Chains A and B, each alone.
Chain A
Amino acid sequence: GEDVEQSLFLSVREGDSSVINCTYTDSSSTYLYWYKQEPGAGLQLLTYIFSNMDMKQDQRLTVLLNKKDKHLSLRIADTQTGDSAIYFCAIETYGGSQGNLIFGKGTKLSVKP
């Protein structure tokens, strides 16, 4: 079945760039997503990229998609302590599930002052 892999932890210093990587097995997803979970809260959509795009930039966020390698990354420029959270990569799954999401295990980003 489909699988989404991402590393579990990332630690950076405030002001540095953070890069969170994700690999996936199913290439039929129309959209690929990054969700953010702040402590004690539910997930919120942070950004997404349409599958026919290579890059999407949104203020401090840059999403890169390499469909050949099935690799998605999220770069956060000028990382702040408020960016400390768990970041989930997610892809859509089709067939019988009709567009449900498969989530990675989440990368916990720790930002040190």
Chain B
Amino acid sequence: DADVTQTPRNRITKTGKRIMLECSQTKGHDRMYWYRQDPGLGLRLIYYSFDVKDINKGEISDGYSVSRQAQAKFSLSLESAIPNQTALYFCATSDPGTSANEQFFGPGTRLTVL
């Protein structure tokens, strides 16, 4: 079974709709991240959380919010989706105590906003 899972894997929505992307992990890691990937722009950090009570903005947090419901769950919400939020979204986890502080990525959610 995958250690980091994301739901849904694909989503098409309309401008103005509220969308929630969910991430779950079984790795027991405290740190979780949300990134978006756009062609030619690489990965950009949206939000990150170092434990259940910790939420931090990343490079591009405007238009997004997150909720860390438990150590294993980290959700990303788009309160009112707009077309330029069409992208591939990745959740990741890490444990600074592991070798080289490796980040482990989910399979991604492809979001299209019409």
Q: What A residues does B108 contact at CB under 8 A?
A: 41-42
Query: Contact size class for A?
Result: 20 to 34
In the complex, what distance in Å separates the CA atom of A41 from the CA atom of B109? 10
Chain B nearest CB: distance from A57 CB in Å? 16
The reply to whether the CB of A10 lies closer than 8 angstroms to some CB of chain B is: no
In the bound complex, do residue B100 and residue A33 qualify as a contact, i.e. CB atoms below 8 Å apart?
A: yes
Q: Which of B33, B40, B50, B100 contacts A31 (CB 8 A)?
A: B100
Q: What A residues does B83 contact at CB under 8 A?
A: none
- Beta-carbon contacts under 8 Å, A7-41 to B: 8, 30-31, 33, 40-41
Q: Which of B4, B33, B42, B58 contacts A88 (CB 8 A)?
A: B42
B96 (CB) vs chain A CBs: closest residue: A99
In the bound complex, do residue A41 and residue B103 qualify as a contact, i.e. CB atoms below 8 Å apart?
A: no
In the bound complex, do residue A42 and residue B41 qualify as a contact, i.e. CB atoms below 8 Å apart?
A: no
- Beta-carbon contacts under 8 Å, A76-113 to B: 88, 92, 97-101, 103-106
Other than A100-B33, A103-B44, A106-B42, give 17 A-B pairs with Cβ distance below 8 A: A8-B40, A30-B101, A31-B100, A31-B101, A41-B108, A43-B43, A43-B103, A43-B105, A45-B100, A45-B103, A92-B101, A97-B56, A98-B50, A99-B101, A100-B58, A103-B42, A103-B43
The reply to whether the CB of B102 lies closer than 8 angstroms to some CB of chain A is: yes
In the bound complex, do residue A42 and residue B42 qualify as a contact, i.e. CB atoms below 8 Å apart?
A: no
A-B contact list, 12 entries, CB within 8 Å: A8-B40, A42-B92, A42-B106, A43-B43, A43-B90, A88-B43, A97-B56, A100-B45, A100-B48, A105-B40, A105-B42, A106-B43
A101 (CB) vs chain B CBs: closest residue: B103
In the complex, what distance in Å separates the CA atom of A14 from the CA atom of B40? 25
Chain B window 89-103, contacts with chain A (Cβ cutoff 8 Å), 1 for yes, 0 for no: 010100010001111
B88 (CB) vs chain A CBs: closest residue: A42
Chain B nearest CB: distance from A74 CB in Å? 15
In the bound complex, do residue B41 and residue A105 qualify as a contact, i.e. CB atoms below 8 Å apart?
A: yes
In the complex, what distance in Å separates the CA atom of A98 from the CA atom of B56? 11
In the bound complex, do residue B42 and residue A45 qualify as a contact, i.e. CB atoms below 8 Å apart?
A: no
